[in-house]
Amino acid sequence: MQFNLIKTDGSARRGEVIANHSTIQTPAFMPVGTQATVKSLTAEEVKSTGAEIILNNSYHLYLRPGLELIKKAGGLHKFQNWDKSILTDSGGYQIFSLSSLHKITEDGLKFKSHIDGSIHFMSPEIAIETQSAYGADIFMSLDQPIPYGATLKKATEATELTHRWAKRGFDVYDKSTGQALLGIVQGGFDGELRKYSAETLSVINFPGYAIGGLSVGEPKEVMWEMLPIVTKVLPQTKVRYLMGVGTPTDLVRGVMNGVDIFDCVLPTRMGRNNTAFTSLGRLNMLNSKYTEDFLPLDPNCGCTTCKNYTRAYLRHLLKSKEILGVRALSYHNIFYYQNLMKNIRQSIESNTFKRFAKDYLSFGDENGL
């Protein structure tokens, strides 16, 4: 993988990631395809929104359908008919948040499947070997997530373990495949520990870096305090990925702080919960005021949903529990996110990002974005 930094505007960065299956224009947003599918949408539909990379979740795929079946299918790209890039996460966060039993040792994580209760073990080496075998373009080191509210002692211990696991994973990473391994910065919510983690991982010289352990229940202002501490330390020539963030305004603030890539389940989750992100703000499409509203969902949007369906029709579908309703909103929301990233990239290219960000945040914070 290669990252080219093309232009900067303040701390905002315009670049491109050249990966095995596609060149990704950054700043970029990755739709989340947890179980090898972006919920309710086909690969062709996701691609038509402008997405150049999606995220798959290693924990879920490891448990079901399993590595052997994916290998027999020819890898993740063929399995889900996605011919652009794929990023997989290591599964560490899901092991901590979903499994009902886990034991942390120096060797790795012992955990209980949330599906059938079976016992499994994940080491830093297994995490890398599994993701590589999936055929992912970009994959992640195994880390120990740190919950908001953890003591400094606990956060320090978890961060040091993450560093040791990162080095072990890097040592078995096969660079000849063209796949890219990202180290994950931890550090909890202590500024010095965050800085130390970024400095320590930078020495290992990963192809890129992820910023983990944010958006885990902390107040937003705490996240925005931690983020620039990390991005000021990470190498300028390497891609930066902020994991699991977030709302449209989060993406703008992240770019303001030097982030290149984002992912979040929010666009499809909100679509499944009858909500659309639009140029007019966040809309709850079950609201009765849309019953006889025959305008497009978003008059300023060029997506298939907005070109073809009215608010009244979409509300009818959602009230009737028709799957087309949530599909149409999910498609629109992902298109909205991709268009937002396109506008951000254009503003950086024209040296107008600061004005763009100020205007967008002023509007977005008032209108639920």
325 and 192 share a domain?
A: no
Supply the pLDDT for residue 96. 81
Return the pLDDT at 192: 98
**Interatomic CA distance for residues 123 and 104, integer angstroms:** 10
DSSP β-ladder status, 85-89 and 138-140: parallel
What local confidence, expressed as pLDDT, does residue 188 receive?
Answer: 97
Instruction: Mark which of 243, 264, 285 sits at the end of a domain.
Output: 264
83 a catalytic residue: no
State which residues form the domain around 194: 2-264
Residue of 137, 260, 263, 298 marked active site:
263
pLDDT, residue 100, reads 65
pLDDT of residue 351: 98
The alpha carbon torsion through 67, 69, 74, 77 (nearest 10 deg) reads -70
Residue 221 placed within a domain: yes
Any domain includes 369: no
Domain boundary among 214, 234, 264: 264
Tell me, yes or no, whether 252 and 311 share the same domain. no
Domain boundary among the residues 231, 249, 264 is at: 264
Instruction: Calculate helix-pair angle for 248-256, 220-231, nearest 10 degrees.
Output: 30
Nearest to 15 by CA among 306, 238, 327: 238
- Residue 119 confidence (pLDDT): 93
| pLDDT tens digits along 6-40 | 999 999 999 999 999 999 999 999 999 999 999 99
Residues 113 and 218 in one domain: yes
What are the residue ranges in the chain where pLDDT is below 50?
none
| Residue of 89, 137, 250, 298 marked active site | 89
Same domain? For 255 and 287 the reply is no
Number of domains in the chain: 2
Rounded to the nearest 10 degrees, the angle between the axes of helix 353-366 and helix 323-349 is 150
At residue 338, the pLDDT reads 98
pLDDT of residue 92: 83
Give residue 280's pLDDT. 97
Q: Is 89 a catalytic residue?
A: yes
**pLDDT (0 to 100) of residue 102:** 79
295 and 243, same domain (yes or no): no
Residue 310 inside a domain? The answer is: yes
The pLDDT, as a whole number, for residue 99 is 67
48 & 33 share domain:
yes
Using alpha carbons only, how large is the chain's radius of gyration in Å?
20
For residue 114, tell me if it sits in a domain. yes
What is the torsional sign of CA 356, 351, 256, 179?
positive
Same domain for 295 and 230, yes or no, is no
Q: Which residue shows structure tokens 């010289």? A: 205
